Amino acid sequence: MSTIAEMFSLQGKVALVTGASKGIGEAMAYTFGKAGAQVVVSSRKQEAVEAVARKFKSVGLKQTIGIACNVGKAAEIEALVSKTIEHFGRIDIIVNNAGTNPVYSPMMEMEESAYDKIMDVNLKGAWLLTKAAHPHLKASGQGCVINIASIEGLSPSPNLGAYSISKAGMVMLTKVLARELGEDHIRVNAICPGYIRTKLSEMVWQDKALLREVMHKQCMNYEANPEDLSGLALMLAAGTGKFLTGAIITADGGYTV
């Protein structure tokens, strides 16, 4: 029987995390590294991912590299996978965390270009990265994909229509890929965060009235940080999650109850 440490170990595995220069992605990448994984920190800007990699290395996570990638561009996704394989030789875990929401407006007032950008980054990019990494996840024999969706993909809020649509698509993408990739021993699950203190949701934390409303709707009077999702991601990535696939896990302090 495995020890607790063994159950949560990622020793010998390679984890690739997008949107990892800050927030949820950075917290998950750090936790994976602490659990023994070799980690690829990815985001749009090379200087940003290199800064995170240096920070990780300074606390002992030597097997960390930063590779820039705009997941809205297919060619950059292919390059990200190729560079990861060139450096580490394998991919066992990917976290599709990169996301954007450049507008806050009703759907009828949204520009087509903004809609396309949201879909390309939040949804299409997750599909393309999983597709590009698929041969390596299959070769792993225990591949794992973690998609970061949102409670907005379960129930929309005003002025976040396109973002909500993209995250609802992420939920269904998770279920479709879980069904299709199961025979390749690849598990695909999604986490739907609620209101977490990140740059993407900073409008909530800057608006005291809105923050009070959020706290009132949550079952827990608790302001969550990115680190609060890391343990859940580790559980999904490690041996503890080996029978979980197609799961859509809400982590929102009870906001949607």
| Cβ–Cβ < 8 Å for 80, 46 | no
Structure tokens at 84: 């990861």
As a dihedral over the C-alpha atoms of residue 196, residue 222, residue 158, residue 107, rounded to 10 degrees, the angle is 10
Catalytic choice (163, 195, 222, 255) = 163
Terminal-to-terminal C-alpha distance of the chain: 36
Alpha helices in the chain (DSSP H): 4-7, 23-34, 46-58, 74-88, 112-119, 125-140, 161-181, 202-206, 208-217, 230-237
163 is catalytic: yes
Q: Cα 143 to the chain's mean position, in Å?
A: 15
Rounded CA gap, 169 and 167, in Å? 5
The dihedral through the CA atoms of 102, 197, 172, 35 has a sign that is positive
Query: Chain centroid to CA 6: how far?
Result: 24
* Residues annotated as part of the active site: 163
